[in-house]
Amino acid sequence: MDTIAAIVTSPGTAAVSIIRISGDTSHEIIQKISNIEDKDLSPGTFKLKWIIEKSNKEKASFENKIDQALILNFKAPKSFTGEDVIEIQCHGGSWLSKKILELCLENGARLAKPGEFTERALLNKKIDLSQAEGILDLINSRTKLSGANAVNLYQGFLGQKIKAMREALLKLLAELIACIDFPDEVDEYPAKKFTEKLSFTILDIEDILASEKSGQILREGFKVALAGKPNAGKSSLLNTLLRNERAIVTDIAGTTRDIIEESMNLNGIPVVLTDTAGIRDSEDRVEKIGIELSKKAIQEADLILWLEDVTRVENYEDFQAELEELKKSFSDKDFIGIGTKVDLLNSSKVEDFNTDLNSANFNLVISSESKVNIEELKDIIYNKANPELSSVADSCKVSINSRQADLLRRSRESLIKALESADNGMEHDFWTIDLKAAIAKLGEITGDDLTEEILDNMFSQFCIGK
């Protein structure tokens, strides 16, 4: 393979920048651009050396010292990529790190593609594909729980389970093929034994698939839509939950006309809050677009907080009917009725309000201004999020991503078809068709069955240098 190089730290001014070189000519390149010698290239040791720009052209021979840097050598196969790797730790600075990278490229390396270092680690059997996805999740993690899940994935907990299932199915496939190819020497494989083994594997797959929702929450966030009529206090609540003046708040109905989406960390769970435009009948063209976006946000949310200004509720039965109608329109969605602006109720109304609270179907009443019941609202959101999340950090469980879930479902479908073939008394050849398909899908999860398309789709999500 070509020797590749890239800057692996973020751009801009910093204390340290790192340039990584990986490939057979890594040692040759570092000796061309520094004053390091063969005897200095002991694996796993740092050497403080000068990075030097050299020229041996006629009438223009020179050596310019660029920077004094720490040079670290990893010898194959004991490196992240499984190849000879050199890391140059220079002083941070956009120009400086780019200049050193330029010297690497001028002396035999090429610029690494996004995720190419990790791709080489995969191809050299240092990690499997699920572990590579764990690295990507770790880079993108936003909370302690999402980080813990990424670490579990990176350590190979999912890959080990998938490989164990795949190896068991491969053994079963070999036994079936022996029966088919050598019918005079090998007894026919019992259908009952075959279906029992497949049934256990299907149960194992379903156990892993149960973590798909928690995986989605950890990676994308638990989506909470703040919805209601205009001036119900949605933007005020968003600002209060974020502890930041993110949305414009006025007493003019219809101020919010577009979707505002922000994230917060709620006790380790990433929560995505969506402030929506007030839903009402309107002839305003721009407002109507905002209302349609609000309905779309509701459809995509995991939880909808339906807000109502308690000072403007004249008939609690009407509010309850309105909420029930919404629940019918979005029958698969979880609605929570929230009464807002409770601090604006005068003392004469408080008693009546408390009497009618249950009939109004409010789950909670709050005040964004005086912070009444805001912590209680956070508890509601937290408890509505997938309860499996709380155990992720303390166990070896891994919450899977959508790619892994899709492949597991397709593997399960093939196993079910193989079961049906056996139950219907079909020949062993038919059993093996779907069994092979199930094994192939499991192999795509770990990278045992790789295609160029899988690699391209996977590593295009990485940044250059990883």
- Segment holding 371, helix H or strand E: none
Cβ distance 254 to 284 under 8 Å?
yes
Position 59 in a domain = yes
Establish if 122 belongs to a structural domain. no
Q: Is residue 124 part of a domain?
A: no
Q: Are residues 410 and 378 in the same domain?
A: no
Does residue 123 lie within any of the structural domains? no
**What's 8's domain CATH number?**
3.30.1360.120
Peptide bond into 114 cis (omega under 30): no
Instruction: Supply the CATH number for residue 235's domain.
Output: 3.40.50.300
SS3 222: strand
Give the mean pLDDT of the chain. 83
What are the tens digits of pLDDT across the range 405-456? 999 999 999 999 999 999 888 888 888 999 999 999 999 999 887 777 777 7
Amino acid 335: pLDDT: 86
- Using 50, 70 and 90 to split pLDDT, how confident is the model at 77? very high
Residue 436's H or E segment, with its range, is helix 428-446
Clarify whether residues 403 and 384 are in a common domain.
no
Domain extent at residue 320: 217-390
In contact, 349 and 318? CB cutoff 8 Å: no
Dihedral angle sign, alpha carbons of residues 437, 442, 444, 449: negative
Position 257 pLDDT exceeds 60 = no
Are the beta carbons of 271 and 302 closer than 8 angstroms? no
State the Rg of the chain over Cα: 30
Which has more pLDDT, 61 or 438?
438
> Any idea what DSSP says for residue 271?
E
Residue 128 confidence (pLDDT): 93
Number of domains in the chain: 3
Same domain for 328 and 279: yes
Same domain, 138 and 49: no
Mean pLDDT of 206-218: 89
Based on the fold, state whether residues 346 and 404 are members of the same structural domain.
Answer: no
139 falls within a domain: yes
Residue 95 sits in the same domain as residue 240: no
Condensed to tens digits (0 to 9), the pLDDT of residues 304-326 reads: 998 888 887 666 666 677 777 77
Asked if 254 and 298 sit in the same domain, the reply is yes
Cα distances from 76 to residues 23, 41, 48, 83, 260, in angstroms, run: 9, 13, 22, 4, 49
Per-residue confidence at 75, pLDDT binned at 50, 70, 90?
A: very high
β-sheet bridge partners, residue 308: 339
Q: What's the pTM value of the predicted model, to 2 decimals? A: 0.80
In a shared domain, residues 385 and 429 = no
Q: Give me the torsion for CA of 167, 173, 175, 180, rounded to 10°.
A: -170
Q: Rounded CA gap, 177 and 428, in Å?
A: 8
Torsion sign across C-alpha atoms 264, 266, 269, 274: negative
Within this chain, do residues 138 and 51 fall inside the same structural domain, yes or no? no
* Average pLDDT over every residue of 223-247: 83
> Percent of the chain at pLDDT above 90?
41
As given in the structure block, the two tokens for residue 411 are 């593997």
- Poorest-confidence range of 74-88, 195-209, 311-325, 422-436? 311-325
Look at residue 438 and tell me if it is in a domain.
yes
**CATH label of the domain that carries residue 188:** 1.20.120.430
Mean pLDDT of 33-37: 91
Residue 466 domain flag: no
With H, G, I as helix, E, B as strand and everything else as coil, classify residue 252: coil
Tokens of 221: 């966030």
